[in-house]
Amino acid sequence: MKRLTKREALRLTVELWEWLGAEYGRTKGDYAWEGQIPTNACFLCEYRSLHQPYPRPCKSCPLYKKWDGCNECDDDGSPYHIWEVAMAEQNYPATQGAADRIAELCREELARLGTGRKVTA
């Protein structure tokens, strides 16, 4: 897979989660980008794996500490964790809300990048 910039990773993540929000019951693994599935089926994970694979790879995620009060995407209460639980319970309206929130977080980060304000990642 090609090396993604932070903006590309965020933009592709918006596309992924907008698609997931509209496609009830579909998973990240169902979404292929240019015929490839990124690391963990996540463009943010793909970005961070290329920029800081170890020892604390999630610190390179463009949304690190920006998951609605959570540090990482898989923390309890993060929109991604809510999506995973809702998928397991087949609560598709909840998956849509969580997917929409993830896309919104990425759009917010893209807007911050566009302003030239310092962004951590």
Give the per-residue pLDDT at 38: 77
Q: Is 65 left (phi over 0), alpha (psi -120 to 50) or beta?
A: left
For 1-27, the pLDDT digits (tens) are: 678 899 999 999 999 999 999 988 888
Residues 6+ apart with CB under 8 A from 94: 82, 83, 85, 86
For 77-97, the pLDDT digits (tens) are: 999 999 999 999 999 999 999
Give the per-residue pLDDT at 41: 83
Helix (H) or strand (E) holding 16: helix 6-22
With H, G, I as helix, E, B as strand and everything else as coil, classify residue 67. Answer: strand
Domain extents in the chain = 6-115
Q: How many CB atoms lie within 10 A of CB 72?
A: 17
